[in-house]
Amino acid sequence: MVDGGGYYHGVILLDKPAGITSHDAVLEVRRAIRQRRVGHAGTLDRLAEGLLVVCIGRATKIVQFLSGFDKTYEAQICLGRRSRTFDSEGVYADEAEQTIPDLNSTALAKLVSEFTGRIKQRVPIYSAVRVNGVRLHRLAREGVDVVPPEREVKIREIDVLEYDKPHLRLRISCSSGTYIRSLADDLGNRLGCGGYLSKLRRTAVGALTLDDAVSSDDVPRLHGAGKLADHLMSFADVLTFGAIRINDEYEPYVVSGKSLRARDVIGVEGSFGVGDKIVLKNTQGEVLAVGTAGSPSRCVGETRDGELFNYIRVLN
């Protein structure tokens, strides 16, 4: 939406090109629309391209809730060489190319299956993760000897799209926080020949996809033509959690976080359990707040007053 002052409020899906940082992409949007409150939900590396979820105006309040969505990527891994950065920037030029073992469809299926499910992953030494308050990439460039931390991530699915030696193309669905660069390095080490991430394109963040994205060049053009608002998504479009719908009488009390009572509820959307993130919606379907459920969706009408919804953030 656009308010009376001409300021945008909503989420726009951006197809970030390779070669610029996510921060730079946000700066380009800020300059194009002359609006300061712009942020992104989930960093893409400078060499990566694809879906960057950009929040504008009041939508910056929901960045924290979008960052945790699962991601889908299309990745190209170059086998036979190693890289200090796990991508094309840090390939060891003084190391000879290693012999790549024969990989037929059966061998490829077996290989990727070893990296699905919950796995431990070492954070790349050239990354923005902090150790003792200092970013790893800074320590690495200063020659400080540090062991990067490990993380547990979930690789939901890996599909082999193509193998044209030495390039292996994969589609990867994974939890937030997964480093595809680390996965490329691990795959190469598992084969004994080394490997690094040569291309990466993010195609989805949760249910949000590139199908609805605009390019960086589109933003100033659409803004100038008065059509950028047509591409903005509302809170309800992007917060795909279960929902409790409330009556008009309770709506004014949302801003103060007043306890929700069973008689204030007019309906439930989706299925959720205790502790799951859910949203409050008014009678028009607008999202007013994000919180956690104090009751399973099937028992909302039977729950005692004050235990239905625990506020995390009010959005209006």
Catalytic residue among 3, 15, 45, 94: 45
How far apart are alpha carbons 18 and 21 in whole angstroms? 8
CA 220 to chain CA centroid, Å, is 24
CA-derived radius of gyration, the chain: 23
Tokens 């939900």 belong to 41
| 217 given a catalytic annotation | no
Please give the structure tokens belonging to residue 40.
């992104």
Please give the structure tokens belonging to residue 183.
């996965």
Residues marked active site are found at: 45
